[in-house]
Structure 1
Amino acid sequence: MEMSDMKERATEVADVLKTMTHPERLMVLCQLVNGEVSASQLQENSTLSQSAFSQHLAVLRKNNIVKVRKESQSVFYSLADKRIEALIASFYKIFCE
């Protein structure tokens, strides 16, 4: 890999990590590592207000870390990228086991 490509990748990885590093966002991602979860279920495990929590979900969506599926009036979230899933699984193994 050339240095210019490596720098570009480093910037991409740094942006992903910056997005993930808020504790509430990490908790969302940890809940999604096993599959799709409804927004209401995610909210139940948060101490934030619904408005503040929604802002964190928006940040994750905007940065393509999670994807959304709507079914009737329910909204479901899942991880948008297998690399994010692997990263969260690694974090879990290192810090939570």
Structure 2
Amino acid sequence: MKNKLAKIHNKAAEVSELLKLMAHADRMVVLCLLSAGEMGVSELREHTKLSQSAFSQHLGVLRKNELVKIRKESQQVFYSLADGRVSLLLNALQQAFCPPDESDKE
């Protein structure tokens, strides 16, 4: 039990920081969209109500903290999730808050 408690204390700050990064509503939308697979930056942008500048800043935060990665193809930039822990957390959150309904099965 002592070792487990020490591990919890050691990881608490790391987990807290990850959750803080994910906790912003606009970043959460981006991460949820990317949980379905890679998307182009312009397609991601279409799903937000943010200005171009604010959207770019949020993507920068996600990139800087290595939650997403980019792939460039010619003039296009594609984003995808870079951290497997984010995928696991998003799956749990989607099951808890966005369970599939009958219309999702069509």
What TM-score does the superposition give when structure 1 sets the normalisation length?
0.93
Which one scores higher on RCO, CA 8 angstroms, separation ≥ 6? Answer: 1
1:46 aligns with 2:32: no
2:82 to 63, 80, 83: 80
> Which of 4, 9, 12 pairs up with 1:10?
12
SS at match of 1:52: helix
Paired AA for residue 38 in structure 1: G
Q: How many residues matched?
A: 97
Unaligned runs of 5+ in 2: 100-106
Cα distance, 1:34 vs structure 2: 1.4
Q: CA deviation at 1:6?
A: 2.6
CA–CA separation in structure 1 for the residues paired with 2:55 and 2:10: 31
- 1:40 shift after superposition: 0.5
SS state of the match for residue 48, structure 1? coil
Structure 2 CA distance for partners of 1:29 and 1:3, relative to 1, 3 Å:
same
3-state SS of paired residue (2:50): coil
CA distance in 1, matches of 2:8, 2:73: 40
Match of 1:68 in 2: 70
- Judge which range, 59-68 or 2-11, deviates more: 2-11
1:6-43 deviation digits (Å, cap 9, x = unpaired): 32311111000000101000000000001111111000
The CA distance in 2 between the partners of 1:33 and 1:5, in whole Å, is 28
RMSD (CA atoms) = 1.2
Larger radius of gyration: 2
Identity value in percent? 52
Q: TM-score, normalised by structure 2?
A: 0.85
Query: Out of 3, 23, 26, which is 2:25 matched to?
Result: 23
Aligned mates of 2:11, 2:98 — CA distance in 1:
28
